[in-house]
Amino acid sequence: MGFDLSRRALVGASAVTGMALAAPRAVAAMDGGPLFALVPRPTHIFRTKDHSHENTESWIFSLAVQTLAPVALTPAALRVDLLKAGKVMRRTEYPADGFGPMTYHTGFPPLLADGGTSPTPIFWPFAIRLRDTVPAALGVDAVQVHVEATDAGGVRGWSDIVLPLETYVQKTALVFPFAGKGIVLQGGATNGGHRNRSGAFALDAMGLDDAAWGVQRGDGKANTDYPGFGRTLIAPADGVVVHARSDRPDQPVGDASNPDYFAEEFKAQGGGDPGNHVVIDHGNGEFSMIAHFMAGSLRVKAGARVRQGEALGKLGHSGDTNAPHVHYQLQAGPDWQNADALPVHFSNVDQAFLDRGTYFEARAGA
């Protein structure tokens, strides 16, 4: 929920181990103009089938405009080419007025490359949010992005990048982190709402009343009015807990997420607090992150070995959230903010794709 809109998490994402630093590629300094590189987050662009019946596929990612000095750059022009075997299948061009609204400014914190092991700072004057839904029959296999930007003196530079569109093959057979009826609040590439690098395919889901699929009882002003509150959250697959936090309180139910209940480090960045949460290493490069556990309910610590279906704690309302729900994301590393996001599918849910507004019933057992 509110957790999802953190831009700061995206900024932090550049200070990550293994990131190739900023050798600006395919950069031409038009008129001796500014030099910048384009860096995708997540680093892989995965296409997913979407929820419609139109046989379309979708993708979503951010592209950081990266420099080696804290220069101000203004978006000037953007061109996005969808490629099939190197041939342009569709071209979209944005003049400055159309480009600007697709960008967001990350400020100029000097970001250290390679997880801080390199002393060379990098800077992200702005980032671009790119998403698309196309007919699968178009056969798009790469996205080529051309960006032009001007510096403070009005001098224009440009950079290009070609990003292959990949299809992710999930290695772990996962069950949904709770059993029973639920509804997806947001999720997937088509309408995710989670902007950070690790959450591109994250799901938020509420538990529903077993008889009537209802979302709440009574006036909905107490956490206990929500049928999902207190539901057992389970390990989606076997693994080892590599990170656990259990000291956060539940929020009372309000009209919106209340920052007073965020941990200090998330107050400073205006949101993004997962509250009580765990990260489980499945041992094959895939990691499950589960968040917003009920205060005091988490029963595993870092180092614990867990089995699929084992109770981890209870669905709660801790962190940056505006109603009791669970946040789940599959990621390619242990760090829930700096690992690449992975598309996810659950073996005990009928729907192949869980999209915003999807009612589902997770069967007990795999």
Interacting residue ranges for Zn ion, rule: CB under 5 A: 3-4, 204, 327
For Zn ion, give the closer residue by CB, 4 or 151: 4
Query: What letters, b where the CB count within 10 A reaches 16 and e where it falls short, cover 30-67?
Result: eeebbbbbbbbbbbbbbbbbbbeeeebbbbbbbbbbbb
> Within 13 A of 269's CA, how many CA atoms are on the CB side?
22
Please, which residues have CB within 8 angstroms of residue 104's CB and are 6 or more apart in sequence?
Answer: 7, 126, 127, 129
**Shortest Å distance, C-beta 324 to Zn ion:** 12
For Zn ion, give the closer residue by CB, 147 or 323: 323
For Zn ion, give the closer residue by CB, 165 or 298: 298
Give CA angle at 169 (168, 172), nearest 5°. Answer: 125
Q: Which residue is nearest to Zn ion (CB)?
A: 327
Please, which residues have CB within 8 angstroms of residue 352's CB and are 6 or more apart in sequence?
Answer: 49, 345
**Shortest Å distance, C-beta 287 to Zn ion:** 16
Q: Is the dihedral of CA 272, 44, 121, 335 positive or negative?
A: positive
**Shortest Å distance, C-beta 253 to Zn ion:** 17
For Zn ion, give the closer residue by CB, 4 or 286: 4
For Zn ion, give the closer residue by CB, 124 or 176: 176
**Shortest Å distance, C-beta 320 to Zn ion:** 8
Residue 230 CA to residue 215 CA, distance in Å, equals 14
Question: Does an H or E element contain 277, and which?
Answer: strand 276-281
**Shortest Å distance, C-beta 201 to Zn ion:** 11
Per the CB < 8 A criterion, the answer to whether 291 and 6 are in contact is no
For Zn ion, give the closer residue by CB, 36 or 61: 61
For Zn ion, give the closer residue by CB, 4 or 81: 4
Amino acid identity, position 317:
H
**Shortest Å distance, C-beta 231 to Zn ion:** 16
**Shortest Å distance, C-beta 118 to Zn ion:** 31
Determine how β-strand 56-67 pairs with β-strand 103-104: unpaired
Q: Which two structure tokens, joined as six digits, stand for 56?
A: 């379309």
